[in-house]
Amino acid sequence: MLALLKTIREAFANGVSKTLANWWSDFTLQTKLLAVATLVVSLVMSGLTFWAVNTIQQDARMNDTRFGRDLGLLLAANVAPLIADHNLTEVAQFSQRFYSSTSSVRYMLYADETGKIFFGIPFWEPEVENSLTIERRIQLPEDYTSDVEKPMVRQHMTPDGAVTDVFIPLIVDQKYQGVLAIGINPNQTAVISTNFTRDVTIAVFITIWVMVILAGVINALTITKPIKELLVGVKQIAAGNFKQRIDLPLGGELGEVILSFNEMAERLERYEEQNIEELTAEKAKLETLVSTIADGAVLIDNSMQVILVNPTARRIFGWEGVEVEGTNVLHNLPPAVQMEITRPLYEMAAGECESAEFRIHLNQPTKRTIRILLTTVLNLQRESIKGIAITVQDITREVELNEAKSQFISNVSHELRTPLFNIKSFIETLHEYGEDLSVEQRQDFLQTVNNETDRLTRLVNDVLDLSKLESGRSYNFGGVDLAQAIEQTLRTYQLNAKDKGIEIIQEVAPKLPLVVGNYDLLLQVLANLVGNSLKFTPTGGKVVIRAYQLNLQHNSSSGTLLSETLGDREHHQSSHVRVEISDTGIGIAPEDQQAIFDRFFRVENRVHTLEGTGLGLSIVRNIMERHHSKMHLVSEVGVGTTFWFDLAVFEEGAPKMIELTDATTQISTL
């Protein structure tokens, strides 16, 4: 129990000390200095007051001592003879008159030689003996009678003050008769003055501290608390919390300050809301603008943290569904890009350069070629770097087009150079040695020049045809009789097939409906396909041209040949007509079938047997695209090749179709 009480007492003491420490720490330095100064002043004043009171008391005691000694000597001189004569009645009367005549005497005691008290005022011997039955004596030192001029004096404290005790020996004719003890009351004026001074000093001390405490409380309530509230409010405003308000019912200057603070906070809040709305609108505009540009855009700060990224950049870098904002851009870039731009980015962030450009080939997330432009973002004064803008351009198509253009020019130049060189060589030979040549040699040379000229003409025509198809030129589409186009094509190549010993077979379904297309373009397609078949089919081979309306049970893009008889094809017909050109030629290897429709790609590049421009099948593919169709093939090396395509059936009364691939041409035509 005692241990528990001790623990509680210690905890209470610790709590009080902590409370006082926290309370003292809440005061400002100025308040602490004021409290210390007040304490010092009050202690000094209290010390001076108590010193003065002590001095007054010492003077009063000194005066009381002198007065008591003189009064005792006077009284002893008058009563000593009476005591020597044993005239105690006279002593009593005289003493009573003396005691009654002054208020300074507190008591008077007479004792004999042995120290036994035999008379006292206001105490009487009979009363003492009857009431107390106590024998009272005065115990004095042995040598107290040696100096009659300086009787023994002492003081003792009573509730009324310090009483001075004076002991005077009674000596008559050099004979010791006893002792007279007189008690002198303290000086009431001095006592009252001392008590008053003490009370005033205590009252002043208490008043000073009460005033200090009241001043502290008033200061805390009227000055310190509002100032602390203002300080907290200012810190909140500085931290961006413009909703901070101070609600203190104060008047005067502090009230005006608080009112002004609240008005300032309200204006800042309105200004912030307005700025947030404007910034949000501007940010939305910026994000909309950035998201609509074709190029990728990434904005980072000086620490490489991503601030903004648009959808194009996400698609190029494979960031779809990934939160890259607020992360280091170098941690999310593909390795090839990261390797190229890491060092330039840090150099730009350090202000060593302002821009940089890179061309990088990516293999992931998809294979493409990109151009990256790095540009520093400066502040309005253009004094410090605020960030870096990364512009990403997907130039894969551009690179492919440049490569295709370069290859096209190279191929065209190569193809043009060969016939031109042959023509120039034979003409120069005829020009220089024509007279030395025989007629047969000259005819042979001229025939070669004529063949090379035809070859050059075909090449130029193919290039022009391909250019027209890719230039966005418009073509008129209507109903085309495929049987007529096939018949015309066969008449054109009949003699060529006969010379090579190749049989051309025509399998056109009866009553074949008209198809949607351009007659000249379809005639060119048939001519290119039949010509290629005759070119790559050896003597004794066959070339078959089929045309039939598709059966509904078969898919036009299934990639398989239809084997129904012509009679079966007359039933369940769909809205498409299929055209097939089959041969028993050398066939096309599987690795060449994907590139067979590319420009200047020739099978003879692989077999090195026949010549050609390499543009025929590319032209065929472009024409089929204009007809909203695709070219298909099935081929096996040494067995033969079959090309086929589907055309939509022309409906009677349908509006005439015009194929437009260029918006400007369309507008001008309308």
The residue that leads in pLDDT, 416 or 367, is 367
Residue 605: per-residue pLDDT:
46
CA distances (Å), 246 to each of 237, 241, 254, 562, in order?
Answer: 12, 13, 12, 90
Q: Give the pLDDT band (50/70/90) at residue 33.
A: confident
Find the mean pLDDT for residues 121-137: 56
Residue 30: per-residue pLDDT:
67
Which has the closest alpha carbon to 135: 158, 156, 112?
Answer: 112
Q: How far apart are CA 493 and CA 503, in angstroms?
A: 11
In tens, the pLDDT along 462-482 reads 677 666 666 556 677 888 888
In tens, the pLDDT along 190-218 reads 667 767 777 777 777 788 778 777 776 66
Which has the closest alpha carbon to 371: 392, 399, 388?
Answer: 392
Kindly state the tokens that stand for 609: 């047997």
Residue 461 near residue 483, CB atoms below 8 Å = no
Enumerate long-range contacts of 97-105, CB under 8 Å, 24 or more apart.
103/185, 104/67, 104/71, 104/184, 104/185, 105/71, 105/182, 105/183, 105/184, 105/185
∠ CA 540-544-549, nearest 5°, is: 170
Q: How far apart are CA 641 and CA 583, in angstroms?
A: 6
Q: How far apart are CA 456 and CA 466, in angstroms?
A: 15
**CB within 8 A of 163, min separation 6: which ones?**
106, 155, 156, 157, 183, 184, 185, 186
Residue 147: per-residue pLDDT:
57
Q: Give the pLDDT band (50/70/90) at residue 519.
A: confident
Question: 3-state secondary structure string, 212-277?
Answer: HHHHHHHHHHHHHHHHHHHHHHHHHHHCCCCCCCCCCCCCHHHHHHHHHHHHHHHHHHHHHHHHHH
Q: Give the pLDDT band (50/70/90) at residue 577.
A: very high
Taken in order of first residue, the domains within the chain and their CATH numbers are 34-239 (3.30.450.20), 240-281 (no CATH), 293-394 (3.30.450.20), 400-462 (1.10.287.130), 472-669 (3.30.565.10)
Kindly state the tokens that stand for 322: 């990934």
Average the pLDDT over each of 24-28, 37-41, 136-140, 291-295 and give the range with the smallest value: 24-28
In tens, the pLDDT along 334-343 reads 888 888 888 8
* Percent of the chain whose predicted confidence (pLDDT) is above 70: 75
Q: How far apart are CA 609 and CA 603, in angstroms?
A: 9
Which has the closest alpha carbon to 476: 522, 515, 520, 518?
Answer: 518
Q: CA gyration radius for the chain? A: 67
The enclosing H or E element of 53 equals helix 29-84
Highest mean pLDDT among 58-62, 120-124, 127-131, 398-402: 398-402
Residue 486 near residue 525, CB atoms below 8 Å = no
* pLDDT for 157 beyond 70: yes
* pLDDT for 544 beyond 90: yes
Maximum C-alpha span of the chain: 210
Q: How far apart are CA 547 and CA 573, in angstroms?
A: 13
Amino acid present at 359: R
The residue that leads in pLDDT, 488 or 224, is 488
